[in-house]
Each structure stands twice: as C-alpha cells, then as structure tokens.
Structure 1
Amino acid sequence: MSIQYDMSLRHGVDFDFRLDGKVAVVTGGLGGIAMATNAALIAKGARVAILYPSFEEPRVQAAIEELGANNAKAFPCDVANEADVEKAIAAAHERFGGLHLLVNAAGCITLTPAENIGYDEWQRQIGVNLTGPFLCSKHFARVVLASGHGGKIVNIASQAATVAIDQHCAYTSAKAGLIGMTKVLAKEWAPRGITVNTVSPTVVLTPMGAAAWEGEKGENMKKLIPVGRFAYTDEIAAAILFLLSNGADMITGADIMIDGGYTIA
C-alpha cells in the first residue's frame, strides 16, 4: 500500500523573519553583540527593552536616540542581582504591555591562569555569565507563561564551552553551565510554548573581545580558525534573529556554533 504525503503541508515560515508586534528583552546594555541584536530586532519590526549595567548610564540616552525612542527603552539592571532583574523585567512588561523574546547577551571575561583566579573574579564571571541568564530567563518565563502566548530565549554561550582554551577556567565553567542550563530550560518549557537555545561564538570583534585578544595573541588565535578571522557582531545577531523567528519554532535546546570552524579544526 502506497503512502500518500501531502506536499502542501507547511508550518508557515516567514522567510523574511519579521517580528512585528513582538517585544524583546536584551541584556548586555550597549555591548557589541547586544547593540547589533537590538538593531536587527528593530529592523524586523520588534520593540526592544534594553537591560544595562549602571556604568553605562552616561551613554544610554544617545543609544536610545540612535535606535529610535519609539523602538527602544532602557532599564538599569545588574543581571546577577535577582531584585534588579525582577524589577527590570516587571518594568519592561508594564512599559510595553507584553514580552515575547529574550536575548541574554550580557557577559564579562578576564583571562587569568587558573591558579591565580581570585574568588571575587570567579564569582563575577559566574554571576554575569551564568547566574544572570538564569535569573533573566526565570523572570521572563514567569511573565510569558502567565500570558499564554509563548516565547523564545537565546543565550550567548561560547566556543570556550566546548573546547579548552588557556586562561579561560572561570569563563568556560560559566559558559558550559549555560549550555547545560539551556537544555534543561528547553525541556521544561517547550510543552508550555517557550523555546530556549544558545549560540556559541568564537572571538567577536567587540570592545571586550578586542581587549582580550589584542596583539600577537589574537593573530595566533586567528591562525587556529579555519576561516582565518574573528566574527563580526552582525553575524552573531543574524543567528540570534533566526532563532527568535518562527522559522526556528522546531528548534529548542540547540547550540549553534559560530566559530569559523575552530572547534572542528
């Protein structure tokens, strides 16, 4: 007996990846990946709630004007502080009337030999890179689950979560934990309409990336990347945009490597 398959069956993917009517929370303030993501989201019709650390306060207004005051609103937030996160998520929800998307782009790194890592340095990297995404995801999910309309979360991990890189002990521990956390959240929340994924970049040409990989160290690192260069922020934003679109409705718990082949070399 032959099986008949309806070739007209489609999910209804919008190949323009439009996000009209969506509201995205993006952590990371005015950082390179965060700002590239903000611009990409707004270009596709979303509005953006930017969570920024206090030290960026002097530059926030100019960034909002650049993005468009009707498109973006900024909220101060230490992502490693639960009271701050709860307050910022609630304020964003009240301001926009709903939340649909979350991008955990806040991050920090210091390169130190493992035996020299101080307790405060360790705690800071774990706090910003792992605890922060958990707290933001938790409070975002509470809003979305109560709304019943579903949502999407993208966490920024790293190639350092997959391969060992010198002087990355604290950073790698946080990012590997982030990938593990993402898988658990994906499993728990998928039945209730929330997908959770990670993207794992190589070195990205941001102020943080440039400072960590300047000079000879950076040139040597590029030689280990098959495509021969570091990533640009809009390349990371493009992957994030896809995962936030309805084209990725069937993707959850995944990690997209954006490393120019570094982890397979």
Structure 2
Amino acid sequence: MMNDFKDKTAIVTGAGSGIGAAIAIELAARGAHVVAADVDMAAAETTVTKIASTLGNARACQVDVVDPRSVEQMVAFAVENFGGLQLAVNNAGIGGPSETTANYPLDDWHRIIEVNLNGVFYGLKYEIAAMLKSGGGAIVNMSSILGSVGWQNACAYVSTKHALIGLTKTAAMEYAAQNVRINAVGPAFIDTPLLTKNLDADAIGQLAALHPVGRLGTPEEVSALTCFLLSAEASFITGSYHLVDGGYTAK
C-alpha cells in the first residue's frame, strides 16, 4: 500500500490546505510524485514542505483554475518535472454568500461557476490529454453531498456540484476504453479552514449534528476514499459518484 503510486505523477488542485493538502500528502506518502497546485503559492509551498519532511517528492505550482492557460501550464509543469501524468484530483473550489436565488448577486454566481465548474472542465481538458500520452490514468473530481441534495441560500454552489456529476459521468464514458478512469467524490461537512474559519462553536456543533455519526468529517477521511478511487484497487470503477458523508444523505 505504501508504494502503490510509485513512479506515478499526480496533480492536486486546491492543495494548499484542507482536503487538497491531505490528498497531496497521502499520495506522496504512497510513492507518487505530486504537483501541489493552489492559487496561493505560499500555501502550496507549505504543503510541499510537509511532504518533504516525510521524504516524499513534490513540487509547488501556482494555478488559477479560472484561467485555462494557467491550468494548461500546470499540467505542462507536471509533465516537464516528472515525465508524464497519471493521476489528478480537481479539488479547488469556493463557497459563496448565503442568499436566496432571486437575490443572489450576479458577480458571485459567475465567480462560483468559473471556479467550481469551469475550473474542473479546464482541468479535465488538459489532464486527460496528458494522461492519454502517458498510457492512461485516473481522475477524481471533488463534488459534495450538495451534488445530490439541495441547500437553501446556496444556489450557485449547489448548481456547480450537481453539474460536476454530469461532467464526470460524460468524460468517464468518453475515455473508459482509453484507460482513463474518472470519478467524483461527495464529502459532507468536513473540518477544514474553509468551513470553520467564520463559524463559532455553536454553529459547528449544529453542522456536526446533521450527520448521523454526530461529528464533522476529517480531510484524511476524504483523502482515503479519493486515493482508493485513484488506485489500481478501483480499476473497474469509473463514471461514478461516491459519498463520504457520515450518513448525511441516508436520512
């Protein structure tokens, strides 16, 4: 298990903290050469430093996923540094204001669509092309439980996470015969800085209570599922959407 990604190259976007950092660290621990990509270069470098402290191999890369040229350059960076691309996790995403649909600010709507949906499309566009040249690979797109259920006052975020499921299924069907597998993961509420930085203890407790297990998830629990889907153990799994949600959607 520890070396099951040996000699494979992986890109993880949004790798500067939270779920992305956990995935980048686990992939490196399991032998992958990792490109830790983030819009915040300092955060990406922090993740690389953590990987280096465990003797893993990683490079930091600044990427703005709303810019297709920046995403293309990220993929080229991976290929130039490590000789190819076999694994990718399109994890970068943002939230948005809490507002009803009729009152949702247009600027926020467009920004969330650009990051959460278009950014993943750009990732797939360039990652798949590189993987085909490398003989195949595996991709995980980070959706959410909100890819299957609604959430009031979050129309843009919910829309993008639903759309990612359709994008994942379509791309998976197109490239299954060419040895590229593509799946989506749907985390529930995970204990990350993005979620908890603006919440007090009572609000966090209320979110935790929404899960039958009675707590928030951890980035490492999302990473465990993601890395399984990237691994050879999941060789017959493609075009599917996998929840890691503490029973949230079972209610």
Q: Same fold (TM over 0.5)?
A: yes
Which residue of structure 1 lines up, in the alignment, with residue 106 of structure 2? 119
Question: TM-score w.r.t. structure 2 length?
Answer: 0.93
Task: Say if 1:145 and 1:192, in contact at 8 Å, map to a contact too.
Answer: yes
Aligned pair partner of 1:177 in 159, 163, 174: 163
Paired with 1:180 and 1:213, the residues of 2 have a C-alpha distance of 32
Task: Say if 1:17 and 1:241, in contact at 8 Å, map to a contact too.
Answer: no
Deviation at 1:16, TM superposition (A): 6.1
Q: Which runs of 4+ in 1 moved over 6 A?
A: none
Task: Say if 1:160 and 1:168, in contact at 8 Å, map to a contact too.
Answer: no
Deviation at 1:222, TM superposition (A): 2.3
The RMSD of aligned alpha carbons is: 1.7
Aligned pair partner of 2:230 in 223, 244, 253: 244
Which residue of structure 2 lines up, in the alignment, with residue 67 of structure 1? 51
Q: Kindly tell me: are residues 77 and 125 of structure 1, through their superposed partners in 2, closer, same or farther at Cα, counting changes over 3 Å?
A: same
Which residue of structure 1 lines up, in the alignment, with residue 27 of structure 2? 41
Equivalent residue letter for 1:64: V
Instruction: Provide, for residues 198-218 of structure 1, a one-character-per-residue CA deviation record: whole Å limited to 9, x for no partner.
Output: 110001111011136544333
Instruction: Provide, for residues 91-139 of structure 1, a one-character-per-residue CA deviation record: whole Å limited to 9, x for no partner.
Output: 2111111110000110110242123321111111111111111101110
Deviation at 1:264, TM superposition (A): 1.4
Instruction: Provide, for residues 66-88 of structure 1, a one-character-per-residue CA deviation record: whole Å limited to 9, x for no partner.
Output: 21186111111111110111111
Q: Kindly tell me: are residues 201 and 60 of structure 1, through their superposed partners in 2, closer, same or farther at Cα, counting changes over 3 Å?
A: closer
Which residue of structure 2 lines up, in the alignment, with residue 198 of structure 1? 184
Which has the higher Rg, Structure 1 or Structure 2? 1
User: Which is further off, 17-26 or 63-72?
Assistant: 63-72
Deviation at 1:57, TM superposition (A): 2.6
Aligned pair partner of 2:220 in 231, 234, 255: 234
Task: Say if 2:137 and 2:180, in contact at 8 Å, map to a contact too.
Answer: yes
Q: Kindly tell me: are residues 228 and 33 of structure 1, through their superposed partners in 2, closer, same or farther at Cα, counting changes over 3 Å?
A: same
Mapping of 1:47-86 within 5 angstroms?
A: 47-53=33-39, 56-68=40-52, 71-86=57-72
Equivalent residue letter for 2:104: I
Equivalent residue letter for 2:128: A
Instruction: Provide, for residues 211-251 of structure 1, a one-character-per-residue CA deviation record: whole Å limited to 9, x for no partner.
Output: 36544333223222111111000000000110011000100
Q: Kindly tell me: are residues 211 and 22 of structure 1, through their superposed partners in 2, closer, same or farther at Cα, counting changes over 3 Å?
A: same
Instruction: Provide, for residues 38-58 of structure 1, a one-character-per-residue CA deviation record: whole Å limited to 9, x for no partner.
Output: 1110111111012210xx233
User: Identity rate of aligned residues, in percent?
Assistant: 36
Paired with 1:213 and 1:231, the residues of 2 have a C-alpha distance of 16
Q: How many residues align?
A: 248
Deviation at 1:145, TM superposition (A): 1.2
Task: Say if 2:64 and 2:70, in contact at 8 Å, map to a contact too.
Answer: yes
Unaligned runs of 5+ in 2: none
Q: Kindly tell me: are residues 188 and 198 of structure 1, through their superposed partners in 2, closer, same or farther at Cα, counting changes over 3 Å?
A: same
2:147 maps to 1:161? yes
Paired with 1:22 and 1:229, the residues of 2 have a C-alpha distance of 34
